[in-house]
Each structure stands twice: as structure tokens, then as C-alpha cells.
Amino acid sequence: MKPFDLESKLKSVRVPDPDEEFWEDLPKRVLARAQAVPAPDSPARPLRHSLFTIQNSKFILAVLAAAFCLWQSRLPQAISRRIWQDGRQTRLALAQLPERLDTLMHDEHGLHDLVQDPP
């Protein structure tokens, strides 16, 4: 039998209507079937971590703490080095100020070099 013939025969078959007794007994059968199935285990079981996972997490935490400590110990050195370089540049600019005082102009935007044409 071909699939098309089978499908057409299945569609032509009349499904019997359930009688009144079927509808009256249905809730009882559903409840009996639901009570017969054992309840699943509660999902609120305590987490079971393996010793390997706990040791790995402790190791990772220790490495992160060590990296943070190293970063913090070198950060003040980098800041003081940068301040020292900025201080040198400031001292150099202040030392050159009397020589360049005639070439500076102050306006509403701050202190600027004057643009002078060469003689």
C-alpha cells in the first residue's frame, strides 16, 4: 500500500465518540495515573564539588591575589617616575622662561609663543 492510499484511508475512518461513562471516569483515571508515578527527587541537593575542582579554584584565587599584589607594588613606582619626569619638564620650562619672556603672549586662551618674522 502506498503512503497516499494509507493516508486517505486513515482520514476516511470515523472515530467513535466516547460515551458518558468515559467522561465521568476520566478524572479518576488521570488522578490514579498521576499518583502512581513516583515523584522525582527534589533538585535541592547539596552541591558536590570534587576535590580537584576545589583545589583548582583555590590555586586560581592564589594566582589572582599574587598578581594583584605585584601590580599594586609596582604602581606607585610608575606614578612617582611619571611625576619625576613631569617635574623635570616643568623645571626646564621655568629655567628657560626668562630667556623667552619676550616671545610669549598671554591672551584669553592662555600663554602662547608669538609668531615673529625673521629680520
How many angstroms separate the CA atoms of 64 and 57, rounded? 11
d(CA 69, CA 63) in angstroms, rounded, equals 10
Give the tens place of pLDDT for each residue, 26-46.
889 888 888 887 766 666 666
What pTM was computed for the model?
0.29
Contact residues for 104 (Cβ-Cβ < 8 A; gap 6+): 111, 112, 113, 114
Reported as a single tens digit per residue, the pLDDT across 70-87 is 777 777 777 777 777 777
CA distance 21 to 28: 12
The secondary structure of 62-97 as a DSSP string is: HHHHHHHHHHHHHHHHHHHHHHHHHHHHHHHHHHHH
